[in-house]
Structure formats: C-alpha cells, structure tokens
Amino acid sequence: MNTCKTALRILKSRKMYLVIYLGFIGIMMFAISWQIMRGSMTGGDEVFHPDTARVAVVDRDGDADGISSALRSYLALDGEMVDLADDSEALQQAVASNYVDLIAIVPHGFASDYQKYLDGSSNDQPTVETVVSYTSGAGSLSQLEVNEFLSLTRTAYLGQAGKQQSMETAMRTALDTAKADAKTSKIAVVQSPSADTDNTKPAASAFAGTIKTGLYPLLLVMPICTFLVIGTFNDSEIRRRLYSSPTRLVSLQMQEMLTCATFGLVVCVGYTAATLVLMMAAGVPFDGITSTNVALTFVSLLAYTLMAIACGFLLGSVGFSEMAVNAFANVFGLLCMFTSGMAFPIDMMPEPMIMIGKLLPGWWLCVSIDNVFGLGTAAATGVDYGSWASSVGLVALFAVAFICLGLALGRIRPHTPVLGLPHHHAVGQVNPQVFRSIGRVPMERNIRLCRRLSIKSDGTGRNRTRLKA
C-alpha cells in the first residue's frame, strides 16, 4: 500500500506531463472530432460556392476600346475587385502579402494588337499578363477567367456580320452571356460515402472516430508516467534500500504496475465518457450504437492503454533518461497515429505505410474498433466479434512482449557494487565504499562478497584490505 501511495505522489509531482500530454493534446483531438461531427450533422451545402478571389486589374493601355473596363466587369462577377497603384514595389508587396489573389496587367498597345488578331491580320494572340499569389487557388481560377473572357469575346466577334463586327459589341455580348450563366448555372454537391465512413450510422462513425483519437495522447502520457514511477524506484540509492527491506522485489514491481494500471483505467473511463458527452453536445443521435458496442470499444481502449503502460515499464527497466523517453514516446506515438488509419483514410494510404502500420499496435486498435461497428477496414465484412477479439489479442501480445523485455533487461541491468579499494587503510578500518556498495545487490550476493573480503596485516603496523581471488 505504501508503494502505491508513493507511486501516486510521484505522478502528482510531475503533473505537468498530465496537463500537456493528456489535457492539452486530448482537448486538441476532441476539437478535431467536434468539427468532424458538426460537419457530418450539417450535411454540407447542396450547392458549391467557390472561394471569392481578390483581383486587381492594372491598365497600361489607357482603357483603349474599353477592354480594361470590360475585363473588370467580367472578373467582378465571381471575384472582389481591388485597386492597386501601377508600381512594381506595390504590386510585388500585394502578391507577397496575399493582399490580392490575382493581378491582371493589360499591356500598352493591347487593344490594337487584339483587334488585329480578331480581324485575322495577325496570327499572334496578345496576352494579358497575370500574377497569381502562390498560396491562392482562387487566384488560379481567376486567371482562367481572364483567358475565358478573351475567348468569349473572340467567339462573339466572329459571330457578327462582316460589316457590323465591333470589338465593343463582342465584349458586351460576352458579359451578358456570363451574367446569364451566373444566374442559371449551379454546381450541385452529391454526398458520396467513402470506405471509412458510413452515413447511415452517424453515431457509430462519430463514436468510433473519437475513440480512435485517443491513440496518440494515450501513447504519450501512459509510457511517460509509468517510466517516472519505475525509473524513480530503480534509482540506485532507492534500489539499495529496497533490497535491504523484507519486501520482495516482485511484489514491489506488481504494486507499481497496479498503480499505473489503475490510473490507466481511470483515463479510459474518462475518455469514453468525454466522447459520449461530446456526441451529445454536437447533437449526434445515439441510434446505431448499443451498450455492447460501447463496452467492447472500451475493452479495446483499455488493452491499448495497458500496452502503453507496458511500454513505459520497458523504458523504465532499461534505465533511459527522461529526455530520451519523451523523445521516444513522441516519435512512437506519431508513427502509430499516421500509420493506423486514424489520421488518414485507408484508401488514401500507400501500401508501404499500411505494411508498417500492421507492425504497430495502433493499427490493431483501430481494426478492433472497426470490427465492433462494421466500419472502415471492416466495412466489407460488417460486425465481426471474432476479428475484434483477435485484434485485441494482438494488442495484448504487444503488452506481454514489452513486459517480458522489461523484466529480462531489468535483470541484466548492472547493479553490481564498485569494488575499487585503496591499498592502505587505518588499523581496523575497511573502505566504507565497499559496504555501501554491498547494499545494492541481493542478500545472497552480499554474503558471498563479504566472505571474499579479508583484513591482513602487511607488517608495517597497517592493515591491508584485500579481495580474495
């Protein structure tokens, strides 16, 4: 019992890890799930509305034949027009700062050159210079609209009678056509379920997806917390005192692991309860999930948590530093998250990433949850409790492997005393370092070590401490 209380005090003293890894990152994961759930409930717009681009038209041709004005009117149908000074520094700053998405520059003499192109007297089509912001997709679409305006104008010009051909009339016709299309043309949005979602089960998708987000924060906080407990008890001075106590080392380790497992159980209960509360807040109906689904998902999450605790036990038994454990937990957690199918849909992941994911416990956690609800990787087979059990068993095998490695490496970890002795000591004295070191090894080894120690006179009035061969 004292060991459990001490372990809890260790966790309490390092509560900043809980705040950052469990609190902050957990809230971030819940926020992502919240956005997904709200988006699934609203169902999205039925009509596609493209982003409005900020467009500037720089006229260097004196608005000859009204081309610049007509181009502004055409681009204003789908974009927001802004005014810019015709200065190289101002234009560069506007693009670099994303103040505008597109700058269209009508060069000097464009109207006359374009008239020649329309009449067929020149085969060289003049172009309007455009500068697109490198971060703007809307600017690229507006760039296409510039070319579209010139093409529509040419088509309308060629459709006029020979003697009645007028570029101004052609541009007006192109504008009227574009305005009519903007009123009548709409792009419908059709919802198509992917391999990882099932719109007929919004509650199942929301609950399973939110539980999966616990993969990353749990693989951060549980190994580190377990390492802090195990590492503290494995300190050389504390370990020396524990060896001198009547309590068996196995019993101490079991109490340490029991404390960490209890903490993990509390975290799993809290994460599951927070998921249900989040679904209620988002207005997701609970149709499609049962108490059996919730219970089996909780078992999957608990098995994964115990695996993370076993990983921390391994790290603490080996004797890594706290910085090394933090680095390992972050790298291992990110690797499991991005290869498990939680961060990306399975159909979008390359085959090498899927192969790596199947070698890690995060993949099998997600597979077990999918088998409970018949989603994602189990969409083709449906609910399969047998596959769920096998997936949870694989996660448990990871935990067993980590425990076995921790016990083995902990046994061979050097805890031997320092036997370096000076040649001479005062009469009747033996180096106290020897006896301080004796306490670091088990009792039977202490007895053997004491028997090897002897004090023999060297004939000079001093005693020589000697280690028997």
Number of C-beta neighbours around residue 230 at 10 A: 26
Structure tokens at 295: 């219970």
How large is the average pLDDT for residues 15-42?
80
Residue 61: C-alpha distances to residues 72, 113, 151, 243, 357 (Å): 14, 11, 20, 92, 61
How large is the average pLDDT for residues 195-216?
75
How large is the average pLDDT for residues 229-255?
70
Backbone angles phi, psi at 315, to 5 degrees: -65, -40
Looking at domain 53-184, does it have CATH number 3.40.1710? yes
Q: Which amino acid is at 136?
A: S
Task: Flag whether pLDDT at 446 surpasses 80.
Answer: no
pLDDT attached to residue 15: 81
Residue 4 burial (C-beta neighbours within 10 Å; 0-12, 13-18, 19+): middle
Gap between the terminal Cα atoms of the chain: 44
Backbone angles phi, psi at 154, to 5 degrees: -65, -40
Q: Which of 31-45, 292-306, 422-436 is predicted with the least confidence, judged by mean pLDDT?
A: 422-436
Would you place residue 143 in the very low, low, confident or very high pLDDT band (cuts 50, 70, 90)? confident
Give residue limits of the domains in the chain. Answer: 2-39+199-412, 53-184
The per-residue pLDDT for range 361-399, each reduced to its tens digit, is 999 999 999 999 888 878 778 788 999 999 999 999 999
Residue pair 312/402 in contact by the 8 Å Cβ criterion: no
The per-residue pLDDT for range 36-83, each reduced to its tens digit, is 777 665 554 555 556 678 888 888 888 888 888 888 888 888 888 888
CA-nearest of 235, 301, 245, 300 to 268 is 301
What distance in Å separates the CA atoms of residue 325 and residue 150, rounded to the nearest whole number? 63
How large is the average pLDDT for residues 357-361?
92
Would you place residue 466 in the very low, low, confident or very high pLDDT band (cuts 50, 70, 90)? very low
Q: Which amino acid is at 61?
A: D
Q: Is 285 left (phi over 0), alpha (psi -120 to 50) or beta?
A: beta
pLDDT: which is higher, 424 or 287: 287
pLDDT: which is higher, 71 or 413: 71
Q: Which of 203-217, 232-246, 310-324 is predicted with the least confidence, judged by mean pLDDT?
A: 232-246
Task: Flag whether pLDDT at 308 surpasses 90.
Answer: yes
| pTM of the predicted structure, to 2 decimals | 0.59
**Crossing angle of helices 249-282 and 236-243, rounded to 10°:** 120
CA angle 301, 37, 378 (to 5 degrees): 50
